[in-house]
Amino acid sequence: MTGSALGLPVAVPSTALFTDRYELTMLQAALRSGAARRHSVFEVFTRRLPEGRRYGVVGGIGRVLDAVENFRFDADVLGFLSRENVVDRATLDWLADFRFTGDIHGYPEGEVYFPGSPILQVEGTFGEAVLLETLILSILNHDSAIAAAASRMAVAAGDRPLIEMGARRTHELAAVAAARAAYVGGFSTTSDLAAGFRYGIPTVGTSAHAFTLLHDTERDAFTAQVDALGAGTTLLVDTYDLTEAVHTAVEIAGPELGAVRIDSGDLLLLAHRVRQQLDALGAKNTKIVVTSDLDEYAIASLAAAPVDAYGVGTSLVTGSGHPTCSMVYKLVARARHDANGPDSPLVPVAKKSLGGKASIGGRKWAARRLDESGVAEAEVIGTGPVPDELADRQLLVPLVLGGEVVAREPLDAARTRHVQARAGLPLSATQLSRGEPVLPTEFV
């Protein structure tokens, strides 16, 4: 059963209108001139990382593959475009039969990237490739920003699990995508049921302050929750008096109480006090979960505290201050005007611009060079032959060939890949302090 069949806003029948109008007006002009058939290569990259970040994380590749498959102009969509006079009849007829038939190569999800990395390459006719620009950037810019923030938080948390709980702080559809990207970046669970339903991410959650306030006493609230959910539940203990709440919680649930959650106050001080109290009451295995506007810096500050898990919301779903990666989608190569087809020789093209917006032409390869200890030392990018010593270190993999997805994978594969990719970087990559990208980008 699909999400839409359940009435959940997590699936759409078509992704064709998740785009900007000028993609279609460019298509109309290119169809009229004949240039729409010209074989072209577009690349997604970013000119710089968000200020102070040491590496980027590729998020959203799996969602891109789904979106490309669902990029269809059905009767309702075509009717809208016609009524609004977006494009002419000839273009509508072309769109009615649209299916992406080209190739997409890219960094696999969970991989790290750096300025200039050709994160995604879309190759096909200009007409079919240009239509995907806005959709691809929308997904990659959002999901990669969340995945990067999640990765930094996971580094700060160490072996302690992280709970994604940002659904109430963002758009309902963005919340589902954010939970997915957070899982890739290192979070263990989510509070968002739509994310659990659609992507199989483990879901968690017990009660809010409203549940305690509903009851005449805190004891009544805890008793009701334990009766319903068992002694292994997590009780929220900071509604009234924290010390009294912890005592009541253990009295009701017994020493097998699963966890207590602290959502306010000086978390470092309170975590120590609660741990001492739990141990004194015999609840030595009861865990402590902390929430309350955490980010990677707050998590790092709690490293020495007896905390067992962190719940993160607002900072995560807003990219911890960097809600986009500033990725762009640029034409880098096209066939000559007198040659078309996938086997036609390609001419490099590049934007020349002031203000740091210039691009480098040509279809690129990318490889990560390692030092003698096996640690990454440079992101190497080129347009010519791949040097022999880098042949087995190439980063781009086939994702779509001839319009068919060839790289769909379980989400856990991307999550594992990220851990491995991050571990292969210099140790300074895990520093939370501001700095330059941990790897230089070398163009050859």
pLDDT band, residue 11 (cuts 50/70/90): low
Q: Is residue 166 part of a domain?
A: no
pLDDT in tens, 68-123: 999 999 999 999 999 999 999 999 999 999 999 999 999 999 999 999 999 999 99
What would the DSSP string read from start to end of 133-192? Answer: HHHHHHHHHHHHHHHHHHHHHHHHHTTS-EEE--GGGS-HHHHHHHHHHHHHHT--EES-
- Residues 352, 244 within the same domain: no
How many domains in the chain? 2
- Residues 18, 115 within the same domain: yes
Domain boundary residue among 275, 306, 337?
A: 306
Q: Is residue 291 part of a domain?
A: yes
Q: What is the helix (H) or strand (E) element at residue 258, kind and residue range?
A: none
Confidence at residue 355, expressed as pLDDT on a 0 to 100 scale? 66
> Average pLDDT of the chain?
94
Please report which residue ranges of 254-341 form alpha helices under DSSP H. 267-280, 296-301, 314-317
| Residue 368 β-bridge partners | 379
Q: What is the pTM of this model?
A: 0.94
**Is pLDDT of 131 > 90?**
yes
Confidence at residue 336, expressed as pLDDT on a 0 to 100 scale? 84
pLDDT in tens, 155-207: 999 999 999 999 999 999 999 999 999 999 999 999 999 999 999 999 999 99
Q: Is residue 311 part of a domain?
A: no
Domain boundary residue among 278, 306, 334?
A: 306
Q: Is residue 270 part of a domain?
A: yes
Q: Is residue 176 part of a domain?
A: no
Cα–Cα distance measured from residue 423 to residue 430, given in angstroms and rounded to the nearest whole number: 9
**Is pLDDT of 354 > 90?**
no
pLDDT band, residue 285 (cuts 50/70/90): very high
CA dihedral 309, 315, 319, 320 (to 10 degrees): -100
Cα–Cα distance measured from residue 136 to residue 17, given in angstroms and rounded to the nearest whole number: 12
pLDDT in tens, 15-54: 999 999 999 999 999 999 999 999 999 999 999 999 989 9
Q: Which domain holds residue 275?
A: 206-306
| Of residues 236, 244, 242, 190, the one with CA closest to residue 214 | 236
| Residue 379 β-bridge partners | 368, 441
Q: Return the half-sphere exposure (C-beta side, CA atoms, 13 A cut-off) of residue 106.
A: 35
- Residues 116, 215 within the same domain: no
pLDDT in tens, 231-282: 999 999 999 999 999 999 999 999 999 999 999 999 999 999 999 999 999 9
Q: Which two tokens stand for residue 312?
A: 């993160």
- Residues 264, 297 within the same domain: yes
Confidence at residue 216, expressed as pLDDT on a 0 to 100 scale? 98
